[in-house]
């Protein structure tokens, strides 16, 4: 199973979750489940390639091997600075995802009924939000 988690960048609270089959592409999950305002700036990991076509204000790190190797030295420096800025925001998001993984429902194999998996995942996300609100 694959989960999509949308996190508010400023408050670091989980806003929305979705669950799909593990074979589904991240971009497909985003297109089917998420509606963002066109002015909202969104940060994605590199699994969400192609989301820029759907959401114009999306920021995805640039791959070094494919894109940066062909550029001049000045443009390489600016692209690396952009990647560093994106990764600094993504770091906070990854910390929230790590807190969810501490409950082991995502990190290990789930051996119960799939019917209740999303419910349990949402409850864990609620617990993580509750802990964050008192921290």
Reported as a pLDDT band with limits 50, 70 and 90, residue 73 is: confident
What value does the mean pLDDT take over residues 9-21? Answer: 88
Query: What is the rounded distance in angstroms from the CA atom of residue 33 to the CA atom of residue 46?
Result: 18
The top-scoring range by mean pLDDT among 44-48, 62-66, 67-71 is 44-48
Is pLDDT at 129 greater than 90 in this prediction?
yes
Is pLDDT at 132 greater than 80 in this prediction?
yes
Give me the residue spans of the domains in the chain.
Answer: 2-134
Reported as a pLDDT band with limits 50, 70 and 90, residue 67 is: low
More reliable by pLDDT, 39 or 62: 39
Q: With beta carbons less than 8 A apart as the criterion, state whether 117 and 19 touch.
A: yes
């Amino acid at each position: 199973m694959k989960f999509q988690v949308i996190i508010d960048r400023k408050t670091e609270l989980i806003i929305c979750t979705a669950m799909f089959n593990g074979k589904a592409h991240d971009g497909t999950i985003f297109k089917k489940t998420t509606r963002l305002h066109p002015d909202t700036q969104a940060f994605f990991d590199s699994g969400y390639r192609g989301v820029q076509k759907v959401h114009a204000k999306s920021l995805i790190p640039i791959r070094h091997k494919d894109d940066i190797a062909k550029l001049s030295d000045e443009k390489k420096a600016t692209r690396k600075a952009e990647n560093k800025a994106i990764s600094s925001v993504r770091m906070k998001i990854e910390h929230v995802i790590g807190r969810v993984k501490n409950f082991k429902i995502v990190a290990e194999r789930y051996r119960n009924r799939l019917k209740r998996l999303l419910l349990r995942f949402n409850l864990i996300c609620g617990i993580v939000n509750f802990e964050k609100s008192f921290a």
